[in-house]
Structures are given as C-alpha cells and as structure tokens.
Amino acid sequence: MRIRTACLAAFLFVAGAALAARGGDELVTLSDGRTLVLHDDYTWSIKGGKSSKLDGEITVNVYGDKNIVLHEDRSWDFADSSGHAAPRKIARLTSVSATATAARATLDEAREAARMSALGKIADQLRPKTDTLSVSRESLIRCAGLSARFVTVRQGRTRDNGYTVSLRTTLSREQIDGVLSCASEAAAQ
C-alpha cells in the first residue's frame, strides 16, 4: 500500500516535547481534536476511545524535521524524508535483573511472593522487546521462571512473627533470547 504524504503535515499539530526514539508515550493532537498516543513500543492508539480508523498508511511531518508513518495495524515508525518507513534501531539487551522483597506469614510464602514479584519486573523489562500485540505478560513471567535462578539477598522475621525475603535474579543475553523465544511460541499457539 502506498504511503500518502500530500498535505498531511497541515493535518497535525503537535503538543508536547520533541519526539524521542525511547522514553514513554508521546501525544500528538490531530486537527479534528483527537489525540494520538505514540507508545514507545512502536504502537499507537487514540486517547479517549474515539474512532481510530485510518485509510491506509499515513506519513505525518512532526516538528518540521521528523516524519512518522502511521500503519493500519496500529504500529508506527519514523520515516525518511521521502516518507518511507526507516529501519528501526533495535538494541539487544545484554542482561536484565530484578530484586523483589515480600513479607508473608511463612518463609515459603514470602519466598514465592518475592519470586513472582521479581519475575513480574523481568517481564516488564522484556515486554518492549516483544510483539506486544500477541505476547502476554503472563507468558513472559512463565518463560522467565523456567530459566531464572534466584539469590537470596536478605531474609528474616517481621515484628508480627511473619517472614520477609528479598530475592535477586539476573538473566544473561542467551537466557533473554530463550525467554523471548518461549513467549513467542506460546503466543503462536
């Protein structure tokens, strides 16, 4: 499908700071009043549940020196000066780590709660590196749990005769690749 660029720069004006390649959602206000949300995982949505239908791919000039392409599948990319989607620069993670603390009535319950909290933090770090439309956070947690090894940072008793446990885990590049592959396979089923 051909990218339409004619007069679309006039269709938008942008509110907020300059678009960043990384770092949170950016808001773009359309001339019809709809607010476009550009997510840092290269997806977009319309704020407030308003209609978000596009007639094909649209290239939009932003801030006079940047172009973005809005795709019908709700993804977006930066575009070159001719309006074609530019290749994404994807950084590979060399490692991810998480530390979590939990307090529960028994030592086993505290250890399991800290483990699940740490796995959730790992999943949140890996989520931007996946196809977020199909890979669920739960499958990332399950797959990370298969390869993660935990080190007890601290454990002890609480004042109300419960237990507190702090655990730390780190995944290497190879383990990250395995977790992403596992979660992608689960999404494909």
**Residues 71, 119: one domain?**
no
**Residues 73, 116: one domain?**
no
Q: Domain range for residue 56?
A: 9-79
User: What is the average pLDDT across 132-150?
Assistant: 87
- Per the structure, the count of domains in the chain is 2
Place 16 in a pLDDT band, splitting at 50, 70 and 90. very low
Residue 51's pLDDT is what?
61
Residue 159's pLDDT is what?
86
User: What is the average pLDDT across 88-114?
Assistant: 86
**Residues 35, 119: one domain?**
no
User: What is the average pLDDT across 82-103?
Assistant: 76
Q: Which two tokens stand for residue 152?
A: 């007890």
Q: Is the pLDDT at 27 greater than 70, yes or no?
A: yes
Q: Is the pLDDT at 120 greater than 80, yes or no?
A: yes
> Domain boundary residue among 79, 110, 137?
79
The predicted model scores a pTM of 0.54
**Residues 34, 71: one domain?**
yes
Q: Is the pLDDT at 13 greater than 80, yes or no?
A: no
Q: What is the SS3 assignment for 53?
A: coil
Q: Is the pLDDT at 30 greater than 90, yes or no?
A: no
Place 185 in a pLDDT band, splitting at 50, 70 and 90. confident
Q: Is the pLDDT at 183 greater than 80, yes or no?
A: yes
Q: Which residue has the higher pLDDT, 52 or 99?
A: 99
Q: Is the pLDDT at 54 greater than 50, yes or no?
A: yes
**Residues 139, 182: one domain?**
yes
Q: Which residues pair with 46 in a beta bridge?
A: 36
Within a domain: residue 156? yes
Within a domain: residue 85? no
Most confident of 2-6, 39-43, 90-94: 39-43
> Domain boundary residue among 50, 79, 108?
79
